[in-house]
């Protein structure tokens, strides 16, 4: 159930069927079936890509199945969509408000990319900034 397929021909990076169902096909029925039959919700792709769907169904499904948002960059991706409900759901389920993306962006060193920096870059609503701060984001 947790076997993957290459992200592109010859690539060692594998993508799960769960990612394909939820993150690519937006098929919540298949995603739930896969989870019910042993798919790992912590496959390093599904949670992140569930933030891109425009609804919370996949995110809720994965979190209910035990997905851990820490270290996935799902919170940072949710900020890209300025969706307070999505950000709140991730924080309520263990996302770290001070998490940062370890990938340099635009020549910036990764250590300067905590969630508040990402929020500012994405010009998210003040409600989301307050939510991040109330959940421990470093303002200094």
pLDDT at 71: 81
What is the 8-class DSSP label of residue 26? -
pLDDT at 78: 94
Percent of the chain with pLDDT over 90: 59
> Tens digits of per-residue pLDDT, 55-72?
999 999 999 999 999 888
29 class by beta-carbon count within 10 Å (0-12 exposed, 13-18 middle, 19+ buried): exposed
102 class by beta-carbon count within 10 Å (0-12 exposed, 13-18 middle, 19+ buried): exposed
- If you average pLDDT over residues 105-117, what whole number do you get? 59
* Residue 29 to residues 18, 34, 63, 66, Cα–Cα distance (Å): 11, 9, 16, 17
Interacting residues of 60 by C-beta distance below 8 A, sequence separation 6+: 89
> Would you say residue 32 has pLDDT above 60?
yes
User: Which two three-digit tokens encode residue 37?
Assistant: 């039959």
- If you average pLDDT over residues 91-113, what whole number do you get? 67
Helix (H) or strand (E) holding 15: strand 14-16
> Would you say residue 7 has pLDDT above 90?
no
Distance CA 117, CA 47 (A): 21
Residue whose structure tokens are 């169904």: 57
Question: pTM (2 decimals)?
Answer: 0.83
Helix (H) or strand (E) holding 16: strand 14-16
Domain ranges of the chain: 1-67
């Amino acid at each position: 159930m947790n076997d993957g397929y290459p992200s592109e021909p010859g690539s060692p990076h594998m993508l799960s069927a769960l990612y394909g169902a939820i993150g690519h096909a937006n098929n919540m029925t298949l995603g739930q079936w896969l989870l019910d039959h042993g798919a790992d919700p912590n496959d390093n792709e599904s949670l992140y890509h569930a933030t891109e769907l425009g609804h919370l169904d996949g995110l809720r499904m994965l979190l209910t199945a035990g997905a851990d948002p820490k270290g996935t960059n799902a919170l940072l991706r949710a900020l890209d969509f300025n969706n307070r409900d999505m950000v709140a759901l991730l924080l309520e389920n263990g996302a770290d408000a001070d998490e940062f993306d370890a990938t340099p962006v635009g020549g910036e060193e990764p250590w300067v990319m905590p969630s508040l920096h990402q929020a500012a870059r994405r010009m998210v609503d003040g409600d989301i900034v307050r939510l991040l701060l109330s959940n421990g984001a470093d303002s200094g």
